[in-house]
Amino acid sequence: MDMIQRPRRNRQDAVMRSMVEENRLSVKDLMYPLFVMEGSNKETPIASMPGISRFTLDLLLKEMDACIQLGIKSFALFPQIPESKKDSTASESIKRGNIYLESIYQIHQRFPEIVMLTDVAMDPYSSDGHDGVVKNGQIINDETLPILADMAVAQAQAGSKLIGPSDMMDGRVGVIRDALDDAEFTNTGIMAYTAKYASAFYGPFRDALESAPKFGDKKTYQMNPANKREALREAMLDMEEGADFLMVKPALAYLDIISLLKDNSDLPIAAYNVSGEYAMVKAAAQNGWIDGEKAMIESLLSMKRAGAQVILTYFAKEFAQLKID
């Protein structure tokens, strides 16, 4: 064969393949989501997310310490709130000493060197299970915004360096930015859930928080999975309103959206490898249908290749234990 160009020459052994590798996955790319609950000395495994648990704060601090020793330096924290403390205005979210704010404070005191994304949304605290104020079966956008702003300031006061508004209300990034600045938290960043789709892949997460909507769905505020260009509109708004990161959620089924935002923004792009994506790999591996470790690495690498600089993933600890770096 008269071929001058033979791409296989650059694939002939492991060292050669490493030399020409275009993307490399590192534990530094990963942010580990964790779940905290009330009580002490308790760990509750989440059945739909093998290997993932809810922790009381005392055990959560030990879990985080173990993760930090493995090289994980960024985390995302989510609270499981008892039903008895939920109401229509998510008032528990800003009560001094609640499990979430106390956790943020204790983590910041214990591990000041790490970055922890804290969640701003009504649904963990809402008796309706929605991300906004509900009236007559409708999600009321503008009445929700002051609640989110108060949440963000309370979390910053507790020590959060990075706020994650996950609600998808219009205008929330700007309102939160103004509230943080007015409270003199100008250095507290915002990782906007920019393109958060109304996805079927969130089920295990809602099991973890016991925060599923009590009625209807979230399609009036989360994005339509059929839409791509709309993600650019959301991104432009978040950038104008003061976001420091743009996030795509879910990740694996939305690699094109990650790439789209990367190509159209100078801000760092985050991708959330959500609970359902994690659970699918775990379930298939447990049944012997795929190699779970290889599928994990390939999935995470695809997100980085698409343009994600930060990957929120439940695989973070498992990946870190491989000590690939």
Known catalytic residue at 196: yes
Does 234 show up as a binding residue in the annotation? yes
- Given 161, 196, 218, 282, the catalytic residue: 196
> How many beta carbons lie within 10 A of that of residue 56, not counting itself?
18
- Given 249, 262, 282, 317, the catalytic residue: 249
Residue from 280, 290, 268, 302 nearest 25 by CA? 302
Distance of CA 246 to the CA centre of its chain: 11
Residues 6+ apart with CB under 8 A from 239: 246, 265, 267
Active site residues: 196, 249
Instruction: Cite the annotated binding site for Mg(2+) by residue number.
Output: 234
